Amino acid sequence: MTLEALLIVLGFILGAVCGSFFNVLIYRLPVGQSIVMPPSHCMKCGEPIKWYDNIPLISFIALGGRCRACKEPYSFRYFVVELLTALLFALVVSKYVEVTTQESVLKGVGLTLFHFFFVGGMIVSAFTDLDHHIIPNEATYPGIPLGLLASFLFPSMMGLEESAHWRSLLYSCLSAVGAGGSLFIIGELVRLALKPQTIVSPIAGEFFSRSLPDSPSGVQEGQVVDVTDTVGVVRSEGEEKEVPADFFGTITKVLVKSGERVEAGQPLFYVKKEALGLGDVKILAVIGAFLGWKLAILTVLLSSLVGLLAHVLIVIARKSEWHAEIPFGLYIVPASIISYFWGNALINWYISIALR
């Protein structure tokens, strides 16, 4: 086995190990749990997982994806995250393996490690956005200074000569601010243009506001609701009907009080739909810091296209509604990975086609 092949295999193994840790972050960060305690355990029976049952990829296959103690199945996504991380880490190593073995070990290893952090942050962001429609700050805030530092140390990341450290840092900083700031401005403009949606009573009767996780006293102005939330219930002559939120957004006005008599179709709440979450802005700033403005723009274009097509397919399959929230981070991440590995080739191909 050549040295280059050995390094790629080691990258794969390291990726599988990191993927196992990413599974912990994906599950625990959004709910505020410690990532250290308690140790890994079965979510069904609570039995601690022995070290030999916690070997990335291998243990899942050996156990048939089930807990040794209670025989209940683990989520297959644990295996997917480990395998995906292993493959992407191997690709990162292969991207810089010639630099490491033929030019400079310090430069090659440095670029590899920095982009391990980049890929890892993208993976954690995507899966937490899929589960909770949020991107944790722990996955984005460290990425911005790391991207700036990497660009300063290795100007080739910004396509500059090796001596242009300060110019590379400036490019990286402007790309981060431009990418994140542009998305923030677009989101705000769209939000201002959106008209409030109205939640109405499904039947006539007495309306009772229902408490939500972040609101112990019922639905309140300024509260964010999701399409899957139930904001209340209407009772009439023994019949009880739930009132779904229907929209993702912020309650701007509460029109009725709990216990008040309402008519069928009567407006109950106004909801201002959100255009983009701040997590999307922060993750794009990370992408700008690491990849530069050209690849950040390509990431936005690719994620918008993929997101639109995916949403259309989901609606056609009747798995969602047109007005349902789209976890945009879920599409930004694969677009950023494509841009990172193949973005420059895609841009050059497009330019060659356009100039014909």
pLDDT at 276: 61
Share of the chain above pLDDT 70, in %: 89
Query: What is the chain's mean pLDDT, rounded?
Result: 83
Closest alpha carbon to 343 in 300, 307, 285: 300
Secondary structure class of 239 (helix, strand, coil): strand
Percent of the chain with pLDDT over 90: 30
On the question of pLDDT at 213 being above 60, the answer is no
Q: Are 289 and 168 in contact (CB under 8 A)?
A: no
Token reading at 40:
């890994």
Handedness of CA 146, 151, 157, 162 (dihedral sign): negative
133 pLDDT higher than 70:
yes
What average pLDDT does the segment 50-74 reach?
Answer: 82
Domain boundaries, the chain: 197-273
Does the pLDDT of residue 271 top 90, yes or no?
A: no
Position 210: which residue type? R
How high is the pLDDT of residue 204? Answer: 82
Pair 54, 39: CB distance under 8 Å? no
Q: How confident is the model at residue 217 (pLDDT cuts 50, 70, 90)?
A: low
Which tens digit of pLDDT belongs to each residue from 286-310? 999 999 999 999 998 888 887 777 7
Q: Are 158 and 114 in contact (CB under 8 A)?
A: no
Q: pTM here?
A: 0.77
pLDDT of residue 338: 93
Identify the pLDDT of residue 323. 53
In this predicted model, which residue has the larger pLDDT, 189 or 169? Answer: 169
- The band of 270, judged by pLDDT with boundaries at 50, 70 and 90, is confident
pLDDT for the residue numbered 176: 93
**Averaged pLDDT, 185-194:** 70
Residue bearing the bigger pLDDT, 354 or 337: 337
Give the separation between CA 142 and CA 292, rounded to whole angstroms.
17
Q: Which of 129, 170, 125 is closest to 148 using CA atoms?
A: 170
Residue 321 has pLDDT above 80, yes or no: no
Average confidence (pLDDT) over 159-179: 91
Mean per-residue pLDDT, 171-188: 85
Given a contact cutoff of 8 angstroms between Cβ atoms, the answer to whether 282 and 139 are in contact is: no
Rounded to whole angstroms, the Cα distance separating 41 from 59 reads 14
CATH (residue range 197-273): 2.40.50.100
Q: CA-CA distances (angstroms) from residue 298 to 154, 244, 305, 339?
A: 22, 37, 11, 7
Q: How far apart are CA 322 and CA 310, in angstroms?
A: 12
**Per mean pLDDT, which of 188-197, 209-218, 319-328 is the most reliable?**
188-197
Higher pLDDT, 308 or 164: 164
Residue pair 97/7 in contact by the 8 Å Cβ criterion: yes
Q: Between 128 and 210, whose confidence is greater?
A: 128
Q: Inform me whether the pLDDT recorded for 130 exceeds 90.
A: no
State the DSSP H helix or E strand holding residue 224, giving kind and residue range, or none if neither. strand 224-225
Is pLDDT of 326 > 80? no
Q: How far is CA 21 from CA 39, 55, 105, 128, 154, in A?
A: 11, 11, 27, 14, 28
Per-residue confidence at 274, pLDDT binned at 50, 70, 90? Answer: low
Phi first, then psi, for residue 36 (nearest 5°) are: -110, -45
The model's confidence at residue 180, banded by pLDDT at 50, 70 and 90, is: confident
Q: Poorest-confidence range of 131-145, 160-174, 211-225?
A: 211-225
CB 235 within 8 A of CB 206: yes
C-alpha 10: how far from chain center:
27
Residues 6+ apart with CB under 8 A from 105: none
What residues form DSSP beta bridges with 260? Answer: 207
Helix 76-98 vs helix 329-354: crossing angle, to nearest 10: 40
Residue 250, classed as helix, strand or coil, is strand
Q: What is the pLDDT of residue 320?
A: 54
